[in-house]
Structure 1
Amino acid sequence: MINHNNTALLVMDLQNGFVSRFAQNEEVLHPFQKAIEAARQHKIQVIYVRVAFNEGYLEVSPRNKAFSALSKHGGMTFTDEATQIHESVKPMPGEPLVTKFRVSAFAGSNLDVLLRGLQIDTLILSGIATSGVVLSTLREAADKDYSVTVLKDACLDADPEVHRVLTEKVFPRQAEVQTVDAWTQTLS
């Protein structure tokens, strides 16, 4: 049974620029919506995480293979439409929006300080992509001694096989892996 007072649901990178890759099928967002609604009903803190940069991409090193190309093409600044949380999963008042500058939700953000301030020690992870923010955040959260659950159907990846291997073989070494339905049943 989960202690709701020390638990947070992280909704990671469900921003327009990433959700649009899966937009042809709106049903893929239903598990996220269901997890968010369950968390709200059970008074579990919902925290949104996005990646965004200052104008001029001052945070992006030319040595960073993943983000240096972005700085050449534009977009992904704080005010850019691509970095705003998707309308179907918008935060409610009291649900923080954390901005990160790398793949992990902890990288360059105030997430760890926020979690400690809220006395959170249990994280429920959801996000886009399984092989990106979810993997990186899970690894760092485990190293920081958080208890972690990954909602496998509230994680999306462009490569279904990578998603399967991560959720079936890699993630269980450091986290519980559940469906949204199985997780919500533990909340009652």
Structure 2
Amino acid sequence: MANRALLVMDVQRDIVSIADDGSGYLPRLGRAIDGARAAGIPVIYVVIALRPGDPEVSPRNRVLTAAVRAGLFTEGAPGTEIHHDVAPRQGDVVVTKRRGSAFSGSDFDLVLRARDIDSLVLTGIATSGVVLSTLCHAIDLDFDLTVLADACLDTDPEVHRLLTEKLFPQWADVVTVEDWLKTLAPR
């Protein structure tokens, strides 16, 4: 059996305040986290945080430059904290990245190798950002992949739909939180 981990990516206070559409995203994500913990699946949080002064941000990086101008992602700022509704618990790993993918500018790969994890269950904000970037990177590293479609969120619902219904199924199992939780139940 694969060694799985549930990834909770970029579910930070400022990002949630921008993207949450009132559809019950955080409670649904919380059910996935609780289910993973109950099944003994590690929960790994991934956050984006940039050093004060943003020395790692190139003016050629449109996404990060815009985020910096908007005052987002500064390391240590309250808005960069993981949202309290889905906060890590003792024993959960928190990985800090400096780019879109969980693998870029972080020790994420080291954490996965140390735990012999070869299967990832992806959740997070935004579907077109961290989820897409991490999924593409993980494909090239030969991870077994699952995307919890309703535990991903994007500011553009049509982009979310296109990715979770058309693109991601080519590379990963795409299921709902409830369907994934059923696979964790003892038989």
TM-score by length of 2: 0.94
- State the alpha-carbon separation in 2 of the partners of residues 95 and 58 from structure 1: 28
Residue 69 of structure 1: how far off its partner (Å) = 3.0
- State the alpha-carbon separation in 1 of the partners of residues 31 and 69 from structure 2: 37
2:96 maps to what in 1?
99
1:50 and 2:40 aligned: no
What are the Cα deviations for residues 96-118 of structure 1, in whole angstroms up to 9, with x where unaligned? 11111111111101101100000
RMSD: 1.4
- State the alpha-carbon separation in 2 of the partners of residues 26 and 160 from structure 1: 12
Q: What is the number of residues matched between the two proteins?
A: 185
Specify which of 12, 19, 25 is matched with residue 15 of structure 1: 12
Does the Cα contact within 8 Å between 1:51 and 1:102 map onto a contact in 2? yes
1:108 and 2:105 aligned: yes
Specify which of 132, 150, 161 is matched with residue 153 of structure 1: 150
Identity value in percent: 51
- State the alpha-carbon separation in 2 of the partners of residues 184 and 82 from structure 1: 30
1:120 maps to what in 2?
117
- State the alpha-carbon separation in 2 of the partners of residues 93 and 114 from structure 1: 16
For structure 2, list consecutive stretches of 5 or more residues without a partner in the other structure: none
- State the alpha-carbon separation in 1 of the partners of residues 155 and 70 from structure 2: 21
- Structure 1's consecutive aligned runs of 4 or more residues displaced over 4 angstroms after TM superposition are none
Residue 27 of structure 1: how far off its partner (Å) = 1.7
Does the Cα contact within 8 Å between 2:10 and 2:48 map onto a contact in 1? yes
Does the Cα contact within 8 Å between 2:14 and 2:72 map onto a contact in 1? no
What are the Cα deviations for residues 22-76 of structure 1, in whole angstroms up to 9, with x where unaligned? 4562722121001000000001000000101111101101111111233345342
- State the alpha-carbon separation in 2 of the partners of residues 153 and 24 from structure 1: 12
2:80 maps to what in 1?
83
Does the Cα contact within 8 Å between 2:146 and 2:172 map onto a contact in 1? yes
1:134 and 2:128 aligned: no
For structure 1, list consecutive stretches of 5 or more residues without a partner in the other structure: none
- State the alpha-carbon separation in 1 of the partners of residues 153 and 122 from structure 2: 12
Specify which of 162, 168, 171 is matched with residue 168 of structure 2: 171
Cα distance change on mapping 1:153 and 1:23 into 2, 3 Å: closer
* DSSP 3-state at the match of 2:152: strand
* DSSP 3-state at the match of 1:186: helix
Specify which of 23, 41, 51 is matched with residue 38 of structure 2: 41
TM-score by length of 1: 0.94
Specify which of 54, 57, 66 is matched with residue 63 of structure 2: 66
* DSSP 3-state at the match of 1:112: helix
- State the alpha-carbon separation in 2 of the partners of residues 74 and 160 from structure 1: 24
* DSSP 3-state at the match of 2:113: helix
